[in-house]
């Protein structure tokens, strides 16, 4: 069997001592940089890139991939413990993960994140092995019109992220879209809303906004509580989730894995959309949707699984089309090119050991993450018992260092302060940050694909409904919108009648 | 050939050792005008790694990808001319971009040029089953069926397409993308008809998914032996775009000579040669004088032509 032979080749490549070592180094470095807010994997990989020249292509890519998913893992840890999401996808994890941590269930949240990620990673590895060629042609079917419709769907889903009013959530999505307009126009190259500041030429930084809106705003909110120097939580509680909790998380993990595996194939935001989509789906399917946003374990398990499955399958377009899903993947494409491997349809056939070895190493890396981190859960959870007086200054310091290290720009620190205060004010007004961040991340893609689709169709807007995939996605979006609007309308009518 | 003469000049200039050869006493900052992982970044990092090995100097590489390289160019223009800040961009950033937008606050004369790493070999490509195989057929096709869509990765490619189109009567609509991998994907998926790409397309030509309509650089390509370049097909224009190393204006002569010499040695190394070959570009160092002359000549040519361009406005 071809598939079996591929798997055997992959594992034979991945378990050589050298490759195992680099996989371990990658995951450890990745976890470390993921845990430090702001100091993201892209900075780290850029710094490490020159050192990978000396390695062969396979260990180099294995290590870089390890940094990538290790960092995603570490990012969930800070999102859960400190409400500091350094990556767009961990913003979803922060929603319920941080609430769980505040209730003394940090151990549960961390453990389920690790277990969910591992389960998803395992399944996604097999998805890649079985379907890589099919998935590549699926990715090619996705043109600008399909992307546009997918993003519209994602934005409508994002309303479900908020647990308060639909109108406020929509307003936050729009606010995010508006702020994302700042920067250089992709199509014409002209600067927009930059007030002549070169620092704004590339737009407002996501990490700055995310850490400001979640982390800094949360600190400000905590300071309100009568100024008593308490601790975040006194009880750590059981570290491992109960059998019941685990059982409850099986369906969300399965659904999240399916969503992530499919959406991860789409470069540029696919993996990210999958974690948002998974959260919305779980909330919709849950018998207790009210618990979401207040520490629902499904709200951590599903998105974490989706995110990890998506991170895994996003290697397919990277390897076979040279299309990176994000900045980190772009650097991995660079590392491949530097090693003389031009990404393309021939990589899997011309470099089978590299291709399958990398995929096998991802599964091994996920296993390493699980083994390394489960014993650490207790240690991390203990972070929550550090008194505010120590914890908050430390968070502020690390956030500031991380933000500064992104571009070496003092401007970004001012931006962080503004984002923190703004995030706090919005939080007090009952407006939540998650829909805002999704709007902000998807805004530029929405615009880019809309304009590109219109240019390529010679200005004919019918392209969005005549292409079947695009039309299907738009129909789903309309259905979702109706589903969201109906209960709201019903409620309003009830109110009117009561009065 | 002109290039050959320039090369000889450059080598002669480099070969005369200065009395006190300049040495880098602290790390040299390199500003790359494109994102990490792109083709310019990759060949640049390899070249600087080679110089570190050969000379023992240290480089700190920064990617400043904003405004299609203009931010990086500005940064180098404003840096002290002491040899400790250099930039890696492409010829088009200096010969063409300053005349396209008022926002770009530099001119080609504002910088020193210290060499090139290689020439980017472009080709106009289409899906395998496209009903045209060369520029004449493409022109006939658009006259009959209306414009083709063109996914474009930069202004210089737009203008190149415009120049040959004008000459041959091709009509097209350009859709900008954020990278050549994306442009090629749009053609592969049937979302756009043609694109001009500098290397990314070659694996797909080898796998039979794409075909070259015309080479967009001088000469021939090993991977497409039967395909002529755009000038030979009557399009009247090809792109000569180089991976170009720049420095702030009025670099001290000894620093300029030492940097040029270090770059030349690295470009001549087998690693850079191998790499250029694997990515289907040509290794070529025009040297400091050759690069300067090339940028100036290209900038004159663009300025003469730009008033005719509709896309440049």
Task: Quickly count: other Cβ atoms within 10 Å of residue A177's Cβ.
Answer: 19
Give the pLDDT of residue B42. 81
Sequence-distant (6+) residues with CB within 8 A of A46 are A331, B36, B61, B63
Q: Flag whether pLDDT at A274 surpasses 90.
A: no
Examine the pLDDT at A47 and tell me if it is beyond 80. no
Domain B123-215 in CATH 3.30.479.30: no
Within A408-456, residue ranges assigned H as helices are 410-428, 433-456
d(CA B65, CA B93): 12
Indicate the helix (H) or strand (E) that contains B271. helix B270-278
- Nearest-CA distance B261 → chain A (Å): 22
A416-431 average pLDDT score:
92
- Measured CA to CA in angstroms, residue A64 lies from A76, A268, A343 at distances of 19, 19, 16
pLDDT, residue B15, reads 47
pLDDT score for A46: 67
Query: What are the pLDDT tens digits along chain B (313 aa)?
Result: 444 555 555 544 454 444 568 988 889 999 998 876 677 888 898 899 899 999 999 998 887 776 678 888 988 999 999 999 999 999 999 999 999 877 788 999 999 999 999 999 999 999 999 999 999 999 999 999 999 999 988 888 999 999 999 999 999 999 988 778 888 989 998 999 999 998 888 888 988 899 999 999 987 888 888 999 999 999 999 999 999 999 999 999 999 999 999 999 999 999 899 888 888 889 999 999 999 999 999 999 999 999 988 887 6
Residue A421 reports pLDDT greater than 90: yes
* DSSP 8-state class, residue A387: B
Q: How confident is the model at residue B199, as a pLDDT?
A: 81
| Structure confidence at residue B55 (pLDDT) | 93
Kindly state the average pLDDT of the residues A72-77. 83
Per-residue pLDDT at A48: 73
Which of helix, strand or coil describes residue B115? strand
Tell me what ipTM this predicted complex has: 0.78
For residue A288, is pLDDT > 80? yes
Q: Is it the case that residue A10 has pLDDT exceeding 80? A: yes
DSSP summary character for residue A211: I
Cβ-Cβ contacts under 8 Å, A334 against chain B: 36-38, 41-42, 45
Which residue from B75, B105, B103, B99 is spatially nearest to B87, judged by alpha carbons?
B75
Which pLDDT score, from 0 to 100, does residue B18 have?
46
pLDDT in the model for residue B1: 42
- Average the pLDDT over each of A221-235, A481-495, B248-262 and give the range with the smallest value: A221-235
Question: CATH 3.40.190.10 occupies which residues in chain B?
Answer: 123-215
Chain A CB contacts of B172 below 8 Å? none
- Considering chain A, what is the average pLDDT of its residues? 83
Q: Does B173 touch chain A (CB under 8 A)?
A: yes
A456 inside 8 A of chain B by CB: yes
3-state secondary structure B182-219: HHHHHHHCCCCCEEEECCCCHHHHHCCCEEEEEECCCC
Identity of the highest mean pLDDT range in A290-304, A424-438, B56-70, B158-172: B158-172
Q: What is the pLDDT of residues A376-409, one digit of tens each?
A: 877 777 777 777 788 888 888 888 887 877 666 7
Min Cα–Cα distance to chain B from A253, Å: 32
pLDDT of amino acid A490? 59
User: Cα–Cα distance between B63 and B33 in angstroms, integer?
Assistant: 6
Among A214, A212, A229, residue whose Cα is nearest residue A434: A214
Asked if the model's pLDDT at residue A227 lies above 90, the reply is no
Q: Among all residues of chain A, which has the CA nearest to that of B192?
A: A456
Selected residue with higher pLDDT from A146 and A317: A146
Residues of B in contact with A458 (CB under 8 A): 146-147, 149, 173
CATH dotted code for B2-119+241-308: 3.40.190.150
Q: Does residue A495 surpass a pLDDT of 70? A: no
Q: What average pLDDT score do residues A20-45 get?
A: 78
> Quick check: B11 contacting A, CB < 8 Å?
no
Report DSSP state, residue A181: T
What lies within 8 Å, CB to CB, of B240 at 6+ separation is B91, B119, B217, B218, B294, B298
Q: Where in chain B is the domain with CATH 3.40.190.150?
A: 2-119+241-308
Interface residue of B30, B47, B99, B181 to substitute, partner A, most A CBs within 10 Å: B181
CA distance B30 to B48: 9
Rounded Cα distance between A157 and A281, Å, is 9
- Cβ(A39)–Cβ(A31) under 8 Å? no
* Separation between Cα atoms, residue A14 and residue A230, nearest integer Å: 48
Q: pLDDT for A358-376, tens place per residue?
A: 888 988 998 998 888 888 8
Half-sphere exposure of A66 (CA within 13 A, CB side): 28
Give the SS3 label for residue B119: strand
Nearest-5° Cα angle at A380, A375 to A382: 110
Contact B279 A342 (CB under 8 A): yes
What is the C-alpha to C-alpha distance for residues B7 and B291, in angstroms, rounded to an integer?
9
Which among B310, B273, B305, B267 has a CA at the least distance from the CA of B48?
Answer: B267
Taking the C-alpha atoms of residue B88 and residue A177, their distance in angstroms, rounded to an integer, is 34
Query: How far is the C-alpha of B263 from the C-alpha of B43, rounded, in Å?
Result: 12
pLDDT at residue B144 in the model: 95
Question: What are the chain A neighbours of B173 within 8 Å (beta carbons)?
Answer: 455-456, 458
């Amino acid at each position: 069997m071809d598939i079996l032979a591929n798997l055997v080749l992959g594992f034979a490549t991945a378990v050589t001592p050298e490759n195992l070592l680099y996989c371990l180094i990658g995951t450890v470095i990745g976890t470390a940089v993921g845990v430090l807010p702001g100091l993201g994997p892209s900075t780290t990989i850029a710094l490490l890139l020159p050192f990978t020249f000396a390695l062969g292509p396979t260990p180099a890519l294995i290590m870089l991939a390890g940094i990538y998913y290790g960092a995603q893992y570490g990012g969930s840890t800070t999102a859960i413990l400190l409400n500091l999401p350094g990556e767009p996808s961990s913003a979803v994890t922060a929603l319920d993960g941080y609430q769980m941590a505040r209730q003394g269930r940090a151990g549960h949240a961390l453990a389920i994140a690790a277990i969910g990620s591992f389960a998803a990673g395992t399944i996604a590895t097999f998805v890649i092995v079985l379907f890589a060629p099919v998935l590549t042609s699926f990715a090619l079917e996705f043109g600008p019109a399909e992307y546009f419709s997918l993003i519209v769907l994602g934005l409508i889903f994002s309303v479900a992220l908020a647990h308060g009013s639909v109108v406020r959530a929509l307003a936050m999505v729009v606010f995010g879209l508006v702020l994302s307009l700042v920067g250089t126009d992709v199509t014409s190259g002209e600067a927009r809303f930059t007030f002549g500041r070169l620092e704004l030429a590339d737009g407002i930084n996501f990490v700055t906004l995310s850490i400001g809106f979640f982390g800094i705003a949360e600190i400000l909110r905590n300071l309100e509580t009568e100024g008593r120097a308490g601790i975040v939580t006194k009880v750590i509680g059981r570290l491992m989730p109960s059998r019941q909790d685990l059982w409850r998380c099986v369906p969300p993990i399965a659904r999240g894995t399916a969503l992530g595996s499919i959406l991860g194939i789409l470069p540029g935001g696919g993996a990210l959309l999958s974690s948002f989509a998974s959260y919305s789906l779980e909330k919709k399917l849950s018998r207790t949707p009210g618990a979401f946003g207040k520490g629902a374990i499904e709200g951590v398990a599903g998105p974490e699984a989706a995110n990890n499955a998506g991170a895994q399958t996003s290697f397919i377009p990277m390897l076979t089309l040279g299309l990176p899903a994000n900045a980190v993947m772009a650097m991995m494409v660079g590392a491949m090119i530097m090693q003389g491997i031009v990404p393309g349809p021939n990589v899997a056939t011309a470099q089978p050991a590299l291709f399958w070895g990398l995929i096998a190493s991802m599964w091994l890396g996920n296993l390493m993450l699980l083994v390394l981190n489960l014993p650490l859960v207790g240690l991390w959870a203990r972070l929550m018992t550090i008194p505010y007086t120590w914890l908050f200054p430390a968070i502020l310091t690390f956030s500031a260092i991380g933000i500064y290290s992104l571009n070496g720009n003092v401007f970004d620190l001012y931006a962080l302060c503004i984002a923190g205060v703004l995030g706090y004010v919005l939080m007090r007004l009952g407006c939540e940050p998650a829909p805002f961040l999704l709007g902000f991340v998807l805004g530029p893609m929405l615009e880019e694909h809309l304009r590109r689709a219109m240019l390529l169709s010679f200005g004919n807007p019918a392209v969005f409904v005549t292409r079947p995939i695009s039309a299907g996605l738009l129909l789903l979006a309309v259905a979702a919108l109706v589903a969201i609007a109906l209960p709201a309308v019903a409620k309003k009518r009830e109110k009117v009648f009561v009065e | 050939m002109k290039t050959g003469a320039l090369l000889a000049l450059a080598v002669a200039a480099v070969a005369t050792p200065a009395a006190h050869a300049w040495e880098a006493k602290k790390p040299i900052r390199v500003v790359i005008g494109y994102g990490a992982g792109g083709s310019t970044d990759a060949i640049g990092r390899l070249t600087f790694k080679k110089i570190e090995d050969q000379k023992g100097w240290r480089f700190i590489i920064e990617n400043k990808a904003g405004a299609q390289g203009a931010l990086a160019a500005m940064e180098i223009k404003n840096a002290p001319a002491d040899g400790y800040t250099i930039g890696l961009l492409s010829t088009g950033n200096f010969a063409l971009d300053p005349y396209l937008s008022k926002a770009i606050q530099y001119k080609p004369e504002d910088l020193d040029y210290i060499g090139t790493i290689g020439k980017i070999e472009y080709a106009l490509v289409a899906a395998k089953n496209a009903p045209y195989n060369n520029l004449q057929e493409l022109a006939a096709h658009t006259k009959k069926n209306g414009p083709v869509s063109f996914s474009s990765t930069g202004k210089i490619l737009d203008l190149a397409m415009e120049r040959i189109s004008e000459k041959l009567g091709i009509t097209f609509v350009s859709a900008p993308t954020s990278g050549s991998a994306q442009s090629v994907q749009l053609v592969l998926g049937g979302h756009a008809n043609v694109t001009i790409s500098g290397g990314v397309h070659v694996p797909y030509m080898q796998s039979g998914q794409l075909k070259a309509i015309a080479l967009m650089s001088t000469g021939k390509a090993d991977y497409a032996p039967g395909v002529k370049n755009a000038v030979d097909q009557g399009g009247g224009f090809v792109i000569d775009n180089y991976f170009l190393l720049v420095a702030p204006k009025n670099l001290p002569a000894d620093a300029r000579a030492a940097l040029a010499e270090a770059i030349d040695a690295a470009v001549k190394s087998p690693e850079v040669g191998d790499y250029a070959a694997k990515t289907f570009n040509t290794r070529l160092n025009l040297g400091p004088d050759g690069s300067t002359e090339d940028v100036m000549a290209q900038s004159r040519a663009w300025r003469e032509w730009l008033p005719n361009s509709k896309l440049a406005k």
